[in-house]
A and B are shown apart, each in its own frame.
Chain A
Amino acid sequence: MTSDDRRPGTSAAFDRISSPRPGTAEGRDGLGKEALYSTSPSAAPTSPVDAWCRRCDVPFGVSVGLLVRLLVPPFLIDPVRRRVWTRCPACDRYAWIQLRTGQALRVLLDRDPSR
């Protein structure tokens, strides 16, 4: 900043201090400060499926990759209660894993204009 374009009353001594950025999402790291906001469009996506192991009582998110691994035989599916009998990734024992739609999938479904 030159002395000509300096705002009146400001001092060159404080020019090292970064100015606040304008209120746009541009250039914001979704895994940085933006991750504090659950409603931020650029925040890191959460899991498409939420799961809960009835044996170890641990809830966890299930990515597509993990879902494929859960469905490696042997496994059982109970479509009525929406649960799978498979090896729990948390306790590594066979157990009933309760499944429900995760936030990422809910957001995706909510955005579907056909719904």
Chain B
Amino acid sequence: MTATVYAVANQKGGVGKTTTALNVAAAMAELGAAVLVVDLDPQGCLTFSLGYDPDSIEPSLNDTIVGRTSMADTILQHDEVDVVPANIDLAGAEVTLLSRTGREYLLRGELSELLDSYDIVLIDCAPSLGVLTINGLTAADEVLIPVQCETLSHRGVAQLLDTIEDVKRLTNRELVVRGVIATMFDGRTRHAREVLQDLLARYELPLVGPPVRKSIRFAESPNVGATLVGAGTDVPGASAYRAIARELLALPVDPDLAAGAGWSDEQRDAALGLVREGER
């Protein structure tokens, strides 16, 4: 068993990276996969969302970065998934790493010892471009790009794709952009549909799974220390993440699941402005 490593990345903040990483991880675990999530954000939002207090966790990812402990020793076993936690000390790691040759490869080196123990590793990247994000992209096999369908997020994708070109040229030639995950999607607005259509057409990116509908339940779930998927909350967004997980694991997606996400094939094609083969 060698894990596939996904970086969940977007330099723009607030697009749903952490929510996507957590819920996709939980949905994959639900399907029987051994999943590790790595919190690469000094804000520790992923760590907090799983019910831990980032400020009282020791050791954390920062201890691995500065060489105090191995990554395996930082892993916490949550009910849903295993997690490498982070806290605000990770902000200092950026500075520690800046003077180190080969700083881009540190996470890849640490993860390499764990790949045989998991099926899937999901890295929740920070909402900025720095050494940590470069580490995440260098360690990954594929990139998932969560996008909130608004103009500034569209611009964030352009900037991220530019960074991915740099990473492929300098540190990880094999990196593949798996596709875009449309988050907080409100299909009732023409702007959201236009952004998504333009994004997919302009950069020739695939859309992974159905768009994830906006729901207040996602904002509430960090309070209970469990993901929406893990808690069994019945909202379209949770079904969307289950469909995304199945697609990433190359499992068939039940039409009922897509319908539960609020996106039948017809709705999806209509929202994306696609014309089905038979209708041409």
Shortest distance between the CB of B102 and any CB in chain A (Å): 6
Secondary structure of the B contact surface, majority rule:
helix
Q: Kindly supply a per-residue 1/0 record for chain A positions 18-35, scoring 1 wherever the CB is within 8 Å of any chain B CB and 0 otherwise.
A: 111111110010000110
List of A residues within 8 angstroms of B130 by Cβ: 36
Per the bound structure, the CA–CA distance linking A9 and B197 in Å amounts to: 6
Beta-carbon contact of B154 and A39 below 8 Å: no
Surface stretch bound by A, among B17-25, B70-78, B159-167, B211-219 = B159-167
Per the bound structure, the CA–CA distance linking A28 and B169 in Å amounts to: 12
In the complex, which residues 4-51 of chain A have their Cβ closer than 8 Å to any Cβ of chain B? Answer: 7-11, 13-14, 17-25, 28, 33-34, 36-40, 46
Known contacts: A17-B154, A20-B158, A20-B165. The answer to whether A9 contacts B170 by CB under 8 A is no
A98 at the interface (CB under 8 A from B): no
List of B residues within 8 angstroms of A63 by Cβ: none
Beta-carbon contact of A20 and B162 below 8 Å: yes
Beta-carbon contact of B169 and A25 below 8 Å: yes
Per the bound structure, the CA–CA distance linking A96 and B145 in Å amounts to: 52
CB nearest to A36 among chain B residues: B134
List of B residues within 8 angstroms of A24 by Cβ: 169
Secondary structure of the A contact surface, majority rule:
loop
Beta-carbon contact of B168 and A10 below 8 Å: no
How many A-B pairs with Cβ below 8 Å? 73
> Of A7, A9, A11, A39, which is within 8 A of B102 by CB?
A39
List of B residues within 8 angstroms of A10 by Cβ: 198, 201-202
CB nearest to A61 among chain B residues: B99
> Of A8, A21, A40, A46, which is within 8 A of B165 by CB?
A21
Per the bound structure, the CA–CA distance linking A89 and B100 in Å amounts to: 22
Which B residues contact A (CB, under 8 angstroms)? Answer: 100-104, 129-131, 134, 151, 154-155, 158-159, 161-166, 168-171, 194-195, 197-198, 200-203, 273
Which A residues contact B (CB, under 8 angstroms)? Answer: 7-11, 13-14, 17-25, 28, 33-34, 36-40, 46, 103
